[in-house]
Amino acid sequence: MTENGQRTRSLLRAAITLACAAAIYEVLARSGYFAPALLPTLPVIAHTFFASLADGSMIQHAVYTLYRVMFGFCLAVVVGLPLGILMARFQRVEGFFLPLVSALMPIPSFALVPLFMLWFGIGNLTTVLIVFYAATFPMVFNTWSGVRSVNPLWLRAAGCMGADENSLFWKVIIPGASPFIITGMRQAFLRAWIAVVGAEMIAASDWGLGWVIFDAKEFLNTDLMLAALVVIGGIGFLFERMVFGSLERATIQRWGMSRVAKG
């Protein structure tokens, strides 16, 4: 079967699943067992959703949230990628940072929000730092394992052909570890996306998708809460599929290396 046909079919399957879930929800909402204010029907949610898009407020919220995520995520890549590489290349760096990483990684980023609020106040700084915290560890860990799993034969062959440290690094180690690095970025983005919504609920004011949900609770605006959830899910899905999916297709799938990352 052609690649295009396969993609169409997988999209179709996804659409069927989503339609089924929506239908079940709609049946529950209209069953009369629940208060309409708590379980609004899909048309109501859709109406709120389009209204919030039309007046620009939802887009503005999404832009704020995306800005915080991208800022924190990029910071995590800038710090996590070199750190993971250094840890894999130098025993001393590994010896110093590994206990630190192991100790900090299990702490949920959400648990740090109140503390960060006291330290950094309410607003972008706190939310960006929470995102950074959540995204850094998957980045470090995956890069670290990726560099350690670079086939020694590649290093040997490159050495024979006169590669110096610099070329080894850029032309062998980085592409050789790329399946893991891309997986690391994927996981980091997901963790960042989850973290930002939590952080915004407490530590943001006026703007952000997390803040919308938390604020809507005060006015019993469940339709707005659900509309914001749709946006959160939609953007997360788009990034996962479009950005990281096409990054994978352009690199490790093209090179026949994607099995390494999954296995």
Partner 1 sequence: MVPIEISDVTLVYDTPSGKVPGVKNVNFNIDASEFVCIVGPSGCGKSTLLNIIAGFLSPVSGEIRIGGKAVTGHGMDRGVVFQDFAQLFPWRTALGNVTFGLEMKGVPKQERDTIAREQLRLVKLEKFTNSYPHHLSGGMQQRVAIARALAYNPAVLLMDEPFAALDAMTRDEMQRLLADVWKTTRKTVIYVTHNVAEAVYLADRVVVMSPHPGTVKAEVAIDLPRPRDPLSVEFLECQKELLRHLGHDVNAKETVN
Q: Could you list the residues that contact partner 1 (CB under 8 A)?
A: 151, 153-154, 156-164, 167, 171-172, 175-176, 178, 251, 254-257
Q: In angstroms, what is the minimal distance from the CB of 182 to partner 1? A: 12
Q: In angstroms, what is the minimal distance from the CB of 256 to partner 1? A: 3
Using the minimum distance from each CB to partner 1, give the nearer residue, 97 or 154: 154
d(CA 239, CA 191): 13
d(CA 263, CA 257): 10
* Diameter of the chain measured on Cα atoms: 75
d(CA 263, CA 260): 5
Using the minimum distance from each CB to partner 1, give the nearer residue, 119 or 255: 255
Q: In angstroms, what is the minimal distance from the CB of 153 to partner 1? A: 5
d(CA 201, CA 115): 14
For 69, 70, 182, 190, 211, the CA distances from 131, given in Å and listed in that order, are 6, 9, 18, 10, 15
Q: Angle formed by the axes of helices 178-203 and 209-218, to 10°?
A: 30
d(CA 12, CA 15): 5
Q: In angstroms, what is the minimal distance from the CB of 171 to partner 1? A: 8
Q: In angstroms, what is the minimal distance from the CB of 159 to partner 1? A: 5
Using the minimum distance from each CB to partner 1, give the nearer residue, 203 or 252: 252
Using the minimum distance from each CB to partner 1, give the nearer residue, 82 or 159: 159
Using the minimum distance from each CB to partner 1, give the nearer residue, 104 or 250: 250
